[in-house]
Amino acid sequence: MTTHRERIQTCLNGEQTDHTPIALWRHFPEEDQNPETLAAATLKFQETYDFDIVKVTPASSFAVKDWGVVDEWQNNPEGSRAYVKRVIQTPQDWETLKPLDPITSPHLAGQLACLRLIKQNLSPETPVIQTIFNPLSQAKNLAGNDLLIEHIRTHPEAVIKGLETITQSTVKFIEAARDIGIDGIFYAIQHAQGSLLELDEYKSVALPYDLKTLTAADDLWCNMLHMHGSDMYFSLLRMFNFQIVNWHDRETYPSLAEAQSLFRNLVVCGGIRQETLHLGNQAQVKEEAQDAIAQTRGKRFILGTGCVVYYVSPHENIMAAKESVG
């Protein structure tokens, strides 16, 4: 029997797999406040569904809580938490950020502890990837999106100093996670879309820090890029070196087939709408899955959703996605 690792590696090589790989992930909005409970919830989810990749999904605040932000659970259907305290109010605040040590900073160290528990209790034949929010997304969580964009346009030098600090901290965290034995990172980019920044703005402010951050993951074999939102600057993929890309393919350009025609050696992940998995029925889930497999001819493709599975999505719909891949 093919292992999860073998199936994903075969997929990355562009070869025919025994059946289409599948990877779904979700937030655990109460368990994610503790390394032990997040590890246990992640392992239980994998035990239930046996996906080909385990994507570890802490609250987005894990990367910035050690700088002083506060978030709380407000019943968001995606399972994400709301920020109730930011730490950036003035342009000068970006310049006072200090680099975080992932070993001694409690929340970063807690996420490393979570990874150790998952690796200790999961078959080594199942790839594990850790969520990493890119520096600009972390900056948004520190300041709030409106203030971040205002500062980018009025005080870019200050924001850049902050991004340098965030990047330094993120690189150290990836290096520490790599030492634990992760197979890749899930790198989330949120501002590469026309409704937030011009393409030239993104290339000027964010891209240099993406590239610096990603050097820490260069030697990992299962890196996935997540491009969040709509009207994305998909052309940025030419600047990166990811094995897999995930985006809201059912809601924005390009489709899975179009993406594969643009980047012939890239594995695409998606095919099912979050809303279909959450509110649809089993037949609708299977219809979208089968269409996605047909679009890609079952090669260089991992069945998934455009983003996280809503935490209240029915078990029966998740099982329908599993059944769709054979």
> Which of 129-133, 263-267, 311-315 comes out lowest in average pLDDT?
263-267
Assign 118 a pLDDT band (cuts: 50, 70, 90): very high
CA distance 17 to 212: 34
| Inter-residue contact 36 to 117 (CB < 8 Å) | yes
Task: Please give the structure tokens belonging to residue 234.
Answer: 């998909």
CA distance 235 to 225: 13
CA distance 107 to 119: 19
Assign 1 a pLDDT band (cuts: 50, 70, 90): low
Mean pLDDT, the chain, rounded, equals 97
Domain ranges of the chain: 4-324
What's the average model confidence in pLDDT over 121-131?
A: 98
Instruction: Look at residue 316 and tell me whether its pLDDT is greater than 80.
Output: yes
CA distance 285 to 319: 10
What's the average model confidence in pLDDT over 78-91?
A: 97
Residue 155: is it exposed, middle or buried by C-beta count within 10 angstroms (0-12/13-18/19+)? middle
The predicted structure's pLDDT at residue 326: 84
Tell me how crowded residue 108 is: count the other CB atoms within 10 A of its CB: 24
% of residues, the chain, pLDDT over 90: 98
DSSP string for 2-54? --HHHHHHHHHTTPPPSS--B---B--TTGGGSHHHHHHHHHHHHHHH--SSE
Edge-to-edge strand list for the sheet holding 54-56: 54-56, 128-133, 184-189, 224-227, 244-247, 267-272, 301-305
Instruction: Look at residue 9 and tell me whether its pLDDT is greater than 80.
Output: yes
Among the listed residues 306, 300, 305, 299, the one whose alpha carbon sits nearest the alpha carbon of residue 320: 305
Question: Strand 70-72 vs strand 82-85: parallel, antiparallel, or unpaired?
Answer: antiparallel
% of residues, the chain, pLDDT over 70: 100
Return the CATH class of domain 4-324. alpha beta
